[in-house]
């Protein structure tokens, strides 16, 4: 299991320290952040001085030109207070013009290769959101030998036959090539149906599942696919429930049936976050 650190982008240092301490106690040893996650890297930086050796540390850049991607990585290293990250990822690489720029001469892929040669990172990955991303990851893997991919995986999204087929093709290819598969949005309920209420605090751009049974089902569904690493919700307030569900799974509680997932979707209004059109961009 991987801790998704987007929710640390708008918290105090004391809050971030408490969350990271709970992650350590839970035995989670992989942290996933990004240059665009607000102050998340800054909040993680002080903690890295004492605990860096205990974690696989990943970040992301949304820049597509080589110079900008290199500068982004160097800023991340400074903010995280480290000399090297374990994994640098091209963030949400899905749009055609951005894809072409990233792979062109002088683009981000070339720059990150050089950064790896210089020891600033150990691995290079690619991430994305939306229904198109498994297909785009397959295309990216044809151009470059990425070490990891990241994509949405939950029962609601996989109820779309086309998306499921693309996911299966991606899993097959990555398994054959020993490319790490990282699953996001496992605990997503839906997009927020309204603007925040007065005093409401949102730590993710989507509404997470909070009820015990459907959250346990969602976590066990993702973990039931042995090829996948599960990235936790950026809303760290549901982290204890995710950890309990994972502990239950690894203690022998099976993954839920498709019927159970369908019932959860109907009872708790769990919907796909993406639709291939108007909901593709976040």
Crossing angle between the packed helical segments 212-223 and 258-268, to the nearest 10 degrees: 140
Burial annotation 117-129 (CB, 10 A radius, 16+ → b, else e): eeebbebbbbbbb
Give residue-wise pLDDT tens across range 157-209. Answer: 999 999 999 999 999 999 999 999 999 999 999 999 999 999 899 999 999 99
Catalytic one of 37, 153, 163, 206: 37
Host domain of residue 167: 128-229+256-282
Which H helix or E strand runs over 66?
helix 66-80
Q: Identify the CATH number of the domain in which residue 73 sits.
A: 3.20.20.100
Domain boundary among the residues 120, 144, 171 is at 120
In a domain, residue 246? The reply is: no
Do 103 and 10 lie in one domain? The reply is yes
Across residues 51-74, what is the average pLDDT?
A: 97
Domain boundary among the residues 120, 148, 166 is at 120
C-alpha separations of 176 from 14, 45, 147, 199 in Å? 43, 36, 12, 48
Question: Model confidence at 256, in pLDDT bands (50, 70, 90)?
Answer: very high
pLDDT of residue 255: 95
**Phi/psi zone of residue 27: left (φ > 0), alpha (ψ -120 to 50 degrees), beta?**
left
Counted domains in the chain = 2
19 φ, ψ to 5°? -65, -45
In a domain, residue 237? The reply is: no
| CB atoms closer than 10 angstroms to residue 173 | 17
pLDDT of residue 282: 67
Across residues 238-267, what is the average pLDDT?
A: 96
Please state the pTM of the whole predicted model. 0.96
pLDDT of residue 164: 97
**Which residue is it, tokens 């990004």?**
34
Verify whether residue 37 is a known catalytic residue: yes
Do 132 and 270 lie in one domain? The reply is yes
pLDDT of residue 110: 98
In a domain, residue 251? The reply is: no
Do 136 and 8 lie in one domain? The reply is no
Do 195 and 112 lie in one domain? The reply is no
Does the structure show a pLDDT above 90 at 281?
A: no
**How is residue 247 written in tokens?**
């502990």
Domain boundary among the residues 95, 120, 145 is at 120
Do 68 and 196 lie in one domain? The reply is no
Which H helix or E strand runs over 89?
strand 85-90
Does the structure show a pLDDT above 80 at 66?
A: yes
Closest CA to 120 of 75, 160, 151: 75
């Amino acid at each position: 299991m991987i801790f998704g650190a987007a929710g640390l982008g708008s918290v105090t240092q004391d809050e971030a320290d408490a969350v990271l301490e709970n992650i350590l106690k839970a035995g989670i040893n992989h942290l996933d952040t990004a240059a665009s996650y607000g102050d998340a890297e800054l909040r993680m930086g002080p903690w890295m001085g004492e605990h860096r050796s205990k974690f696989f540390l990943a970040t992301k850049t949304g820049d597509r030109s080589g110079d900008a991607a290199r500068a982004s990585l160097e800023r991340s290293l400074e903010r995280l207070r480290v000399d090297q990250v374990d994994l640098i990822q091209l963030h949400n690489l899905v749009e055609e013009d951005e894809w072409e720029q990233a792979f062109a001469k002088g683009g981000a892929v070339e720059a990150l290769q050089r950064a790896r040669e210089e020891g600033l990172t150990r691995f290079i990955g690619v991430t994305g959101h939306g229904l198109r991303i498994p297909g785009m990851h397959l295309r990216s893997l044809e151009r470059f030998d990425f070490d990891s991919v990241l994509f949405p995986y939950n029962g609601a999204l996989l109820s779309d036959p086309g998306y499921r087929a693309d996911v299966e093709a991606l899993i097959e290819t990555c398994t054959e090539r020993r490319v790490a598969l990282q699953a996001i949005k496992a605990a997503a309920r839906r997009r927020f149906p309204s603007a925040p209420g007065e005093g409401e605090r949102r730590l993710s751009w989507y509404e997470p599942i909070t009820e015990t049974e459907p959250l346990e089902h969602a976590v066990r569904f993702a973990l039931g696919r042995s090829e996948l690493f599960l990235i936790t919700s950026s809303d760290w307030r549901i982290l204890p429930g995710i950890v309990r569900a994972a502990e239950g799974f690894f203690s022998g509680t099976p993954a839920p049936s498709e019927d159970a997932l369908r019932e959860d979707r109907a009872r708790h209004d769990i919907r796909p976050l993406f639709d291939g059109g108007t909901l593709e961009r976040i």
